[in-house]
């Protein structure tokens, strides 16, 4: 498997074997079985829109391995403000950087960037389209807490209609024969294309409106934020927003190995009373972004194979 | 014997089995506006054994390019192209939706990068029950009747 100079644009581009290889590389780095060095390497960090977690996580991943970071953190600070195209920006950055990380609000922008250069490009989020490093860290968190990826019962809760992380995670989990429980209101149900996709792969699933129906049966509960901007009607948002608050009172009969995950930031999907329980994993989950992004940087730069 | 509702031509191209009400769009793809003097016959909502009703276009002295055929296939995937010479059908071609379509479809996603930056669009045709087109960049999928051509 050769990842050198490979772009990381969409989780759909990766086979099951490639996903497993990335996760195993991350595990080796986290456990210090592998001690790669990125000394002398430069990461171009092109954030055309604000981001806290992803940007800091990439920078930390690079710097902890001895690499350096150049870049900008808003379109205002870049030549995009002067009307420069993504293509031309990348043509300039490729002179200075060995690997390029890009976040841009336009969907498909990371693919455009990747096509403009031979240097590896990593998508750190292209609008509502893809955020593959989030999906890989979600998978890594599941593998780490459950010891496996295959045959798990996974609940996806919240905004299943628009939620980018949920769609990508579902695509990735489809390689591992998990049983999927979808929990959402009628207005935020998972789109039919995804249900057809699961059916075509013989993956069992069911749809629910109440998390309490399924919380005792699952190994992983993945909650997502319901985004206010998706709702034209404020009253409808207020109604839906409070429909799925996971509270510690719901956890009395759950499986011992249950882990509750969330891509963060949360609004009120998970009550703070859950934070102290052994089931809460969302903050640790965010920390898993470091080994996963280190693995991707090392693999695409050819420092690890 | 039933009288012909669409006149025969001596030399040119007949595009048959166009889905109903799509003939005008096909003419638009071909850039035909009747400005040159060749005869164009247009039949809309004609009876068809296979399709119930269909549209048909006959164009005198016109040969289609591969790019034009590909574009027609996007909106009329079951169209048949008859090449006519001396009133006879010289060749019959079934259009085929290409697997990769470049520079022909406008992405229907307003947030797609191709709508904001100078990027040549690229779509993949997906064979399911109904043909769908997937944007190479934003990964959104569109049914044939949702597609806008460039």
Q: Does B113 sit within 8 Å of A86, measured CB to CB?
A: yes
Residues in B closer than 8 angstroms to A127, CB to CB, are 111, 138
Range with the largest mean pLDDT of A64-68, A166-170, B12-16, B92-96: A64-68
A193 touches chain B (CB under 8 A): yes
Domain A132-286 indexed as CATH 3.40.50.1370: yes
Options 3.40.50.1370, 3.20.20.70, 3.30.565.10, 3.40.50.1820; CATH for A11-130+289-300 is 3.40.50.1370
Kindly compute the dihedral angle of the four CA atoms of residues A287, A290, A291, A292, in this order, to the nearest 10 degrees.
100
Quick check: B111 contacting A, CB < 8 Å?
Answer: yes
Q: Does A284 touch chain B (CB under 8 A)?
A: no
Interface predicted TM-score (ipTM) over 0.85? yes
Comparing CA positions, the residue from A164, A113, A158, A133 lying closest to residue A11 is A133
Q: Which two tokens stand for residue A149?
A: 């990826």
A49 three-class SS? coil
In a mutational test of the A interface, the residue from B110, B111, B140 whose CB has the highest number of chain A CBs within 10 Å is: B111
The single residue listed with the structure tokens 């043509």 is: A91
**Which residues, including other chains, have CB under 8 Å from residue A117's CB and lie 6 or more apart?**
A90, A91, A93, A94, A100
Is A82 among the catalytic positions?
A: yes
Establish whether domains A11-130+289-300 and A132-286 are of one fold.
yes
Cβ(A292)–Cβ(A252) below 8 Å: no
pTM of the model: 0.89
Report the length, in residues, of chain B.
150
Angle, helices A132-146/A16-30, rounded to nearest 10 degrees: 70
- Is position A208 annotated as part of the catalytic site? no
What mean pLDDT comes out for the span A121-125?
97
Q: Check if the beta carbon of residue A18 is closer than 8 Å to that of residue A131.
A: no
Do the Cβ atoms of A86 and B112 come within 8 Å? Answer: no
List pLDDT tens digits, range A5-38: 999 999 999 999 999 999 999 999 999 999 999 9
The residue of B112, B121, B122, B137 whose CB has the most chain A CBs within 10 angstroms, and thus the best one to mutate to test that interface, is B137
Give residue-wise pLDDT tens across range B36-78.
788 888 999 999 888 889 999 999 988 888 888 888 998 888 8
Confidence of residue B5 (pLDDT cuts 50, 70, 90): low
Q: What is the mean pLDDT of chain A?
A: 94
For A273, phi then psi, to 5°, come to -65, -20
Query: Per-domain residue ranges for chain A?
Result: 11-130+289-300, 132-286
How far is residue A251 CA from its own chain's centroid? 26
């Amino acid at each position: 498997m050769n990842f050198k100079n490979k772009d990381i644009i969409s989780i759909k581009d990766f086979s099951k074997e490639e996903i497993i290889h990335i996760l195993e590389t991350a595990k080796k780095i986290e456990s210090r079985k592998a001690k790669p060095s990125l000394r002398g390497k430069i990461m171009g960090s092109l954030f055309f829109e604000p981001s806290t977690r992803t940007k800091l996580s990439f920078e930390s991943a690079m710097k902890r391995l001895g690499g350096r970071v150049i870049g900008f953190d808003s379109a205002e600070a870049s030549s995009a403000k002067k009307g420069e195209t993504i293509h031309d920006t990348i043509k300039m950055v490729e002179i200075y950087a060995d690997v390029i990380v890009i976040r841009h609000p336009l969907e498909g922008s990371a693919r455009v960037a990747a096509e403009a250069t031979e240097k590896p490009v990593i998508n750190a989020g292209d609008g509502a389209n893809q955020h593959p490093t989030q999906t890989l860290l979600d998978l890594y968190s599941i593998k780490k807490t459950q010891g496996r990826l295959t045959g798990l019962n996974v609940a996806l809760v919240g905004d299943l209609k628009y939620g980018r992380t949920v769609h990508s995670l579902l695509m990735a989990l489809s390689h591992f024969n998990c049983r999927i429980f979808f929990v959402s209101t009628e207005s935020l149900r998972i789109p039919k294309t995804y249900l057809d996709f699961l059916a075509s792969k013989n993956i069992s699933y069911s749809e629910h409106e109440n998390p309490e129906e399924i919380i005792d049966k699952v190994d992983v509960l993945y909650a997502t934020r319901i985004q206010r901007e998706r709702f034209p009607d404020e009253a409808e948002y207020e109604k839906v927003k409070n429909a799925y608050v996971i509270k510690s009172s719901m956890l009395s009969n759950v499986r011992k190995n249950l882990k509750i995950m969330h891509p963060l930031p949360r609004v009120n999907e998970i009550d703070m009373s859950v934070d102290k329980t052994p089931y809460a994993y969302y903050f640790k989950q965010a920390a898993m972004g470091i080994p996963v992004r280190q693995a991707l940087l090392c693999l695409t730069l050819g420092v690890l194979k | 014997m039933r009288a012909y509702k669409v006149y025969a031509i001596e030399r040119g191209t007949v595009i048959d089995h166009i889905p109903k009400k799509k003939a005008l769009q096909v003419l638009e793809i071909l850039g035909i506006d009747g400005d040159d003097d060749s005869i164009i016959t247009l039949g809309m909502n004609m009876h068809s054994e296979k399709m119930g009703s269909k549209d048909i276009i006959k164009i005198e002295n016109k040969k289609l390019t591969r790019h034009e055929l590909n574009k027609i296939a996007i909106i009329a995937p079951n169209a048949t192209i008859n090449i006519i010479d001396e009133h006879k059908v010289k060749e019959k071609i079934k259009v085929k939706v290409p697997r990769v379509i470049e520079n022909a479809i406008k992405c229907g996603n307003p947030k797609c990068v191709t709508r904001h930056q100078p990027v040549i669009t690229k779509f993949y045709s997906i064979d399911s029950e109904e043909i769908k087109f997937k944007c190479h960049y934003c990964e959104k999928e569109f049914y044939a009747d949702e597609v806008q051509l460039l």
